Structure 1
Amino acid sequence: MKPGLVELEDNYILFAVLLFIWLVFIWENYITLRQRQIYMNAIQVPAEVNTIMDQETYGKARIYQLDKTNFGLIKGVVSEVESAVILLLGGLPYLWGVSGRLLDYYGYNSADYEITQSLIFSFLGAVFGLVTGMPWTIYSTFVIEEKHGFNKQTLGFFIKDQIKKFFLFQAISMAITAALIYIIKAGGDYFFIYCWVFVIVVSLVMVTVYPDYIAPLFDTFTPLADGPLKSEIEKLAASINFPLTKLYVVDGSTRSNHSNAYFYGFFKNKRIVLFDTLMEDYILPQKQTDEAKTETSADDSEDKPEAETEVLDAAAAKDASTEVKTEAKKGCTNEEVVAVLAHELGHWYLNHVLKNFFIGQANVLVCFAAFAYLIKTTALYTAFGFYDEKPVLVGLLIIFTYIFAPYNEVESFLMTMMSRRFEFQADEFGKKLGFAKLLQSALTKLQKDNLSFPVVDWLYSTWNYSHPPLLERLAALSSKKES
């Protein structure tokens, strides 16, 4: 393996890869700058928006999105330059060489331990990505999200969370990587079929295992207590024969004020998960306990001298007054939460989840078949600085990340278009169940709570939004009489 710069002379493959990557980067920045101009210039609430968003919330959303966009533009430039430098300076073969030397140092011949060397290579690459990416993550979380009132993490919680995520992901990804390399090396001419079957099995296992065993390592899932909301959700599920078995609330507010809801599970074992931030009247059990302790402390104040009690009451009144001014009520009413779930269950009823799964697996098969055709092409390895070796993992990285880049862009755009269509269909399903007005009000509240900006450039929206803009969804929900 030749050290130093990757030779660009007669290396049209690497040149074409870099050219395409930068063309896509320029294109995405162009449409981002179009949207940024809207954030800069659309200062007053437009007429079509003033019925759903007041000037104060509109202004907050505009500044929030502008801050995120400016941050994303700077990060994007740095990341693209970093990636290009790594490729041109032979960062991939250098890291592969370091991995081999580590094996040799401990008495193992790297030539006989390709899978082990590949895992070391993968781990070192992940560490590099963690180190270079962490400053961006910290700034996004503790500066931008904090500034706009979304971040709820302490620094200690954040650090523990990142450590858990990193090592858990490494454990899972290394097991999958080792199995894939083994299958490719031992599978013969039809290894791509075995790889495809393996990916299907892993996908199904992860869908089953992740919610029950991995997600609880990071968040607390509490069964939704009996009450009107639970009864209405169960009634909705029964009306469309949705096999609901569990109904959970996840403590999303420990991380962020952003809200969400989703369902998961196979066959007759479906579960629904609501973020606590989705519901305006929901209080986490731990917070309820804390409030009870506070009330007990207040009761104890009755035994204090009258003057001291008056001081405490005045302080409490001041705090309450401040809270009213700074904390607007967020989340949806019970009826609106049910409307949101009517939309989500529409994805299940209309088989959107299955369609996405089958399309995704068909795409995996096509990619593995193309990979099987290309993996023996020496020029692909030499283009990226691998002159003497053809490691399977490197082949996967080069082909799936760089050679398939044009295909990946087209596939991603088509999936975005399909996702938008599915969202309209799920809205229509909720509308047919009689939730049009409630779904409109819920979507509007979520737009405000998440400080999503309602004015979007059509080109930016078309390329980036997997969900249609709010005004389009509201118009579609109002277009016909409810069934």
Structure 2
Amino acid sequence: MYPSGPPFPWNSQPCPVEASTLYSFASRCFHFIHEAVTILMDTAILCFGILPWFWKVSGNLVAYLGLDAENEIMHTLSFLAGVMIWSQLPDGELREKIEKLAASLKFPLKKLFVVDGSTRSSHSNAYMYGFFNNKRIVLYDTLIQQCTNEEEVVAVIAHELGHWKLNHTMYSFIAVQHTVIPLQHLVNFGLNLVSRTFEFQADAFAKKLGYAKALCAGLIKLQEENLSAMNTDPWYSAYHYSHPPLVERLAAIEEPDSKKED
């Protein structure tokens, strides 16, 4: 840990340095094995033509279901159907709270999904997709499992809705990435700076909706489960990280008149 970083807020737990170090070492070993297996799988796929065969089968499935076989979007979704398994979020208090939050922000929520992410990774995530008045929210089952209560899950969703409300997706589309190769490092630093600013703004948005305490608790829980660095050197994180470290985010949320909200 770097002494130049801000102090830990009162409600955060000490950084599990030993667990984080062991996790990092294990991840590197797994990455080496994963890359070796991936090379073997890719070689088999290329030699035996598995990918073209599976693409043809997915196209036949689209036609069998009575859909337009020439529709590339439907064809692609059918191709990916076996990779990410989505299911509707069951009725209950969590679903009601998310729908109520979306309605209060006039977010055109059409469907609410849970994706089976625990079988592939312990990483937690939530995101939204869709165009115009046809939006969907997807929760990883690991997010629901790792959060202590529904309020923390809703706080994470409030953060994601902040990205939508503040037009961050549109700004990201406008910002053309990885086009100026000679200045790639400078461009990446600028993009990370913009992304980190967006994260602070989305946190502030959730705070204004009254989810400050729940958001802090949710962020701490997710950070502990992900075993990533919590309090890195400010200059290192500013260059390498697209998201601010946990300590900076908690400090900004708890500060009464945070400059991050400007």
Q: Same fold (TM over 0.5)?
A: yes
Q: If the length of structure 1 is used for normalisation, what is the TM-score?
A: 0.43
Task: Pick one of 424, 431, 444 that aligns with 2:207.
Answer: 431
1:59 — aligned with what? 18
Task: Pick one of 264, 273, 278 that aligns with 2:143.
Answer: 278
Cα offset, 1:210, TM superposition: 9.4
1:111 — aligned with what? none
Matched residue SS, 2:175: helix
Task: Pick one of 118, 123, 133 that aligns with 1:268.
Answer: 133
1:188 — aligned with what? none
Indicate conservation of the 8 Å contact 2:168/2:198, yes or no: yes
2:33 — aligned with what? 139
Indicate conservation of the 8 Å contact 2:124/2:142, yes or no: yes
Q: Cα distance 1:439–1:65, how it changes in 2: closer, same or farther (>3 A)? A: same
Aligned length: 234
Q: Cα distance 1:473–1:140, how it changes in 2: closer, same or farther (>3 A)? A: farther
Match status 1:455 vs 2:242:
no
Percent identity between matched residues is 43
Cα offset, 1:442, TM superposition: 0.3
Matched residue type, 2:13: M
Q: Cα distance 1:136–1:60, how it changes in 2: closer, same or farther (>3 A)? A: closer
Superposed, which structure 2 residues align to 1:140-155 within 5 Å? none
Matched residue SS, 2:189: helix
- In structure 2, stretches of 5+ residues that fail to align are 56-70
Q: If the length of structure 2 is used for normalisation, what is the TM-score?
A: 0.76
Q: Which has the larger radius of gyration?
A: 1
Matched residue type, 1:59: E
2:156 — aligned with what? 340
Cα offset, 1:433, TM superposition: 0.6
2:65 — aligned with what? none
Indicate conservation of the 8 Å contact 2:94/2:150, yes or no: yes
Matched residue SS, 1:448: helix
Match status 1:353 vs 2:148:
no
Matched residue type, 2:150: N
CA distance in 2, matches of 1:447, 1:238: 29
Cα offset, 1:472, TM superposition: 0.6
Q: Cα distance 1:436–1:163, how it changes in 2: closer, same or farther (>3 A)? A: farther
Q: Cα distance 1:267–1:213, how it changes in 2: closer, same or farther (>3 A)? A: farther
Matched residue type, 1:333: N
CA distance in 2, matches of 1:60, 1:136: 16
Q: Cα distance 1:268–1:54, how it changes in 2: closer, same or farther (>3 A)? A: same
CA distance in 2, matches of 1:406, 1:210: 38
Cα offset, 1:452, TM superposition: 1.5
1:471 — aligned with what? 247
Indicate conservation of the 8 Å contact 1:416/1:463, yes or no: yes
Matched residue SS, 2:112: strand
CA distance in 2, matches of 1:437, 1:230: 20
Indicate conservation of the 8 Å contact 2:9/2:251, yes or no: no
CA distance in 1, matches of 2:7, 2:196: 25
Superposed, which structure 2 residues align to 1:370-385 within 5 Å? none
CA distance in 1, matches of 2:118, 2:45: 20
Indicate conservation of the 8 Å contact 1:65/1:453, yes or no: no
1:15 — aligned with what? none
CA distance in 1, matches of 2:11, 2:21: 17
CA deviations on 1:12-70 (whole Å, 9 max, x unpaired) are xxxxxxxxxxxxxxxxxxxxxxxxxx4xx99xxx9737852257x442023323665xx
Q: Cα distance 1:448–1:269, how it changes in 2: closer, same or farther (>3 A)? A: same
Task: Pick one of 37, 43, 48 that aligns with 2:8.
Answer: 48
Q: Cα distance 1:54–1:475, how it changes in 2: closer, same or farther (>3 A)? A: closer
Q: Cα distance 1:213–1:266, how it changes in 2: closer, same or farther (>3 A)? A: farther
Q: Cα distance 1:466–1:141, how it changes in 2: closer, same or farther (>3 A)? A: same
Matched residue type, 1:439: L
Cα offset, 1:258, TM superposition: 1.2
Higher strand share: 2
Indicate conservation of the 8 Å contact 1:49/1:454, yes or no: no
- In structure 1, stretches of 5+ residues that fail to align are 1-37, 72-134, 143-154, 172-204, 281-329, 368-403
1:418 — aligned with what? 194
Indicate conservation of the 8 Å contact 1:222/1:250, yes or no: yes
Indicate conservation of the 8 Å contact 1:419/1:467, yes or no: yes
CA distance in 1, matches of 2:187, 2:149: 38
Q: Cα distance 1:443–1:480, how it changes in 2: closer, same or farther (>3 A)? A: same
Matched residue SS, 1:270: strand
CA distance in 2, matches of 1:47, 1:414: 26
Matched residue SS, 1:438: helix
